[in-house]
Structure 1
Amino acid sequence: MKRILLIAALFCMSVVLANAQIKIGIKEGLNIASIDYTTAVLETETSALASFHLGAFFHYSIVEHFGFQAELMYSGQGAKIDFKDFGILTKNKLNYLSLPILAKYHASSGFTAEAGISLDFLLSAKQSYEKIEGFSGSGFELTEQDLKEGLTGVDTKFLFGVGYEMASGLSFNARFAAGLSNISKSLDENDPNYIGEEESYNSVFQLGVGFPLYGN
């Protein structure tokens, strides 16, 4: 009986794999990123920062209209943060290695819909200063800072989007990634960098184009 079940399972698996369609390619596009940043002590306002994403995708489809897509992407994120109490506007550039896993629906017309989760690993984080008001002649000087020590190493995001795929395999998509985890590390009240409890959540709107290298 066990042997019969094993043979049946192997047969079903071979049928699935025989009908599976694999597509491998590269994709790139525009990121419009922001950070939902709050602190109980300072009044702040954030605005979007433009960057880009670039990487590869692997699509695995076992039925006509449905499949899964995994990606490996460089993703530039961050935001501009206006610290109104000090008259300081900063540009915060966060660079991630992103690993999205998505379920993807593909209509016969070529339109697609997708949703999934992404694990983003922090590569670097820099803060530069675009505007400093109220410190002229005071000897106060700010230079670029490394923010990586103050941020968590991994961010999780929920992704959803829509797109269109041509018969040639060339694809276009719009996607929104909403941060699920606080990327600010908790600091002790005695830490000199402590400015109250902080919360920071990434969000990214992406416009991308995909180029197939293998499969159709």
Structure 2
Amino acid sequence: MTKRVFLFFFLFTVTTVSLKAQVLYGVRVAGGFAYQQVKSSIVRSTGSSVKTFNVYGFAQISLVDEFWLSTALGIANKGSVVYDDALTTTTHLTYFDMPVSVLRKFTFSNTGVFFVGAGGYLSMGWKGRLNYETPGSYTTDIIKYGKENDVKKFDTGLYFSTGFELRNRLVFNVGYSMGLNNIASLSQQDSGTSVVKNRIFSVGLGYLIK
């Protein structure tokens, strides 16, 4: 099902770009923090967030009036820190990420364009690691994606953004991704962790190439 959604997003974007509409292209980098909603019978504390760094290429396609379709493709980092007595487990997940949203733009003639947007995202797991730390030890494991392994491969959810496009083509962006898909693998669920959902808050700087 998730693969079909990814294919739909891709085909929809390609089809829209091929239409006779105004198209803007750009790149952006973003930093922030990621954490996870965790429901577990074995974890005493859900822990805290991890720092993230994300990079995207994006396109904006005019729809009607001041509404635009925004789509991007890039790399996003997700994860969390979980505390369980003396053991601290830090999860670092790296995804190929594709957010798609509809923007409403408001033009200010002297400054630029303010925008707000809402939509969804689809992510596919690329790589990751688990860091285990105790007062006397530190070890690392490589994450394997898949429902039978460490973490499910695909993640989907909602995406919200706001920001400002300046006259000099610089773009300031604030984004929030709220995962809806439970990425806990079958092995995690069998061991007592029933739900894991990703969350990301980020602040980014971009540049409109065209």
- Report the TM-score, using the length of structure 2 for normalisation: 0.81
> Is structure 2 residue 201 aligned with structure 1 residue 205?
yes
8 Å contact from structure 1 (residues 38, 44) kept in 2: no
> Which string of whole-angstrom CA distances, capped at 9 and with x for unpartnered residues, describes residues 105-136 of structure 1?
1101221001111000001120113x314xx5
Indicate the residue corresponding to 2:118 in structure 1: 115
CA distance in 2 between partners of 1:83 and 1:171 (Å) = 41
Q: Which amino acid aligns with 1:102?
A: S
Q: How many pairs are equivalent? A: 184
> Offset of 1:142 from its aligned partner?
5.5
List per-residue Cα deviations over 1:74-126 (Å, max 9, x = no partner). 01111111122xx1112211000001111011101221001111000001120
CA distance in 2, matches of 1:116, 1:107: 18
Whole-angstrom CA distance in 2 between matches of 1:177 and 1:168: 28
Distance 1:97 1:65 in 2: 29
- Which range is displaced more, 37-46 or 171-180? 37-46
- Equivalent position amino acid for 1:163 in 2: G
Q: Which moved more, 1:32-41 or 1:199-208?
A: 32-41
What SS does the corresponding residue of 2:169 show, helix, strand or coil? coil
Give the Å deviation of 1:197.
Answer: 4.0
Shift of 1:38: 2.1
Question: What CA deviation, in whole Å up to 9, does each residue of 1:143-189 have, x standing for no partner?
Answer: 21123231100000201121111123221111110010111112399
**Equivalence for 1:3:** none
Map of 1:6 onto structure 2: none
Match of 1:59 in 2: 60
Q: Secondary structure at the match of 1:120?
A: strand
Structure (1 or 2) with the greater strand fraction:
2
Aligned 1:160-171 pairs, distance under 5 A:
160-171=160-171
* Mapped contact 1:53–1:76 kept (Cα < 8 A): yes
Alpha-carbon distance, 1:24 to partner: 0.8
The 2-side partners of 1:46 and 1:97 are apart by 25
Return closer, same or farther for 1:166/1:188 CA change in 2, 3 Å cut-off. closer
Kept after mapping to 1: 8 A contact 2:184/2:193: no
8 Å contact from structure 1 (residues 78, 93) kept in 2: yes
Instruction: Name the residue aligned to 1:34.
Output: 35
Task: Report the identity percentage.
Answer: 22
Tell me if structure 1 keeps the 8 A contact 2:119–2:160.
yes
Output the amino acid matched with 1:198. S
Q: What residue ranges of structure 1 are gaps of 5+ in the alignment?
A: 1-16
AA in 2 matched with 1:132: T
Is the 1:160–1:176 contact (alpha carbons within 8 Å) kept by the matching residues of 2? yes
In structure 1, the residue corresponding to 2:199 is in which secondary structure? Answer: strand
Q: Displaced runs of 4+ in structure 1, greater than 6 A?
A: none
Give the alignment's Cα RMSD to 1 decimal: 1.8
